[in-house]
């Protein structure tokens, strides 16, 4: 069973609209990573969150880690075609350096 | 340019044959990882290595083998014992001072 649950599994958003992806863990998160992947390619690192309540932004993408450190959200404002792809969350759920668990990913489609 | 390379991008093999996937990095990272990605699932850790000449099994190591003779290289062999080898394989590396794992472009293995 997945220890990291991502939702939704996929979403279609009209260009210019906002979207939110959630990542929920059954265990305390020591670190939470957001990646983007184009189909058939490697993962591109977006952001890392470690502290409860932490929020980071880069361009139109904002990620938050809740106070209890068991859920994170990724929010994209005014989506553009370049935001299309698969978004994956990865998490440190143990104190073993480098071992990450990944969510199943959220496929984002941006329509004109 | 610094980065992680994986070769080949596409690989076809007959059932029962062993095949080796290449992963090279020139980032001077100590740790290297192999993941498998299947449709609708997140990345699953096969093997990882935090130092030369040492490696550990991940969550799905059965049917796979690795070596880490050089810091820059972490090849993965998919053996005939792997029951469902057709998948997308991703290699990653991480340094002590980096925030995250950096991923290669992936190799798509198809066993016919």
Which residue, B20, B5, B31, B17, is CA-closest to B76? B20
Is residue A2 scored above 70 in pLDDT? no
pLDDT tens, residue by residue, B55-69: 999 999 999 999 999
pLDDT at res. A96: 63
Average pLDDT, chain B: 93
CB pair distance less than 8 Å for A42 and B106: yes
| Token duo for residue B1 | 């340019």
Chain A residues with CB-CB distance to B92 below 8 A: 43
pLDDT at res. B97: 81
pLDDT tens, residue by residue, B35-46: 999 988 889 999
- Choose between B47 and A2: higher pLDDT: B47
Is residue B78 scored above 80 in pLDDT? yes
CB pair distance less than 8 Å for B48 and A98: yes
Evaluated on CA atoms A12, A16, A20, A21, the torsion sign reads positive
How many residues does the structure list for chain B?
A: 112
CA distances (Å), origin B46, targets A3, A50, B66: 17, 25, 9
Instruction: Compare CB distances from A102 to B4, B42, B50 and report the shortest one's residue.
Output: B42
- Choose between A69 and B73: higher pLDDT: B73
């Amino acid at each position: 069973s997945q220890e990291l649950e991502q939702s939704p599994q996929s979403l279609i958003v009209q260009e210019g609209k906002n979207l939110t992806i959630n990542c929920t863990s059954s265990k305390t998160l020591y670190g939470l990573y957001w990646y983007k992947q184009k189909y058939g390619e490697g993962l591109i690192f977006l952001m890392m969150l470690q502290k409860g309540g932490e929020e980071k932004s880069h361009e139109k993408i904002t990620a938050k880690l809740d106070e209890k450190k068991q859920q994170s959200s990724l929010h994209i404002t005014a989506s553009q075609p370049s935001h299309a792809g698969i978004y994956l969350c990865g998490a440190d759920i143990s104190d073993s350096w480098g071992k990450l668990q990944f969510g199943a990913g959220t496929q984002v489609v941006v329509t004109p | 340019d610094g980065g992680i390379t994986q070769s080949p991008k596409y690989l076809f093999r007959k059932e029962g044959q062993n095949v080796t996937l290449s992963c090279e990095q020139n980032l001077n990272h100590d740790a290297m990882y192999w993941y498998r990605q299947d449709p609708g699932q997140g990345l699953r850790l096969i093997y990882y290595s935090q130092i030369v000449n040492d490696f550990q099994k991940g969550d799905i190591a059965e049917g796979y083998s690795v070596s880490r003779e050089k810091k820059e290289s972490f090849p993965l062999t998919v053996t005939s014992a792997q029951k469902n080898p057709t998948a997308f394989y991703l290699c990653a590396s991480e340094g002590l001072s980096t925030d995250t794992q950096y991923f290669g472009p992936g190799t798509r293995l198809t066993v016919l």
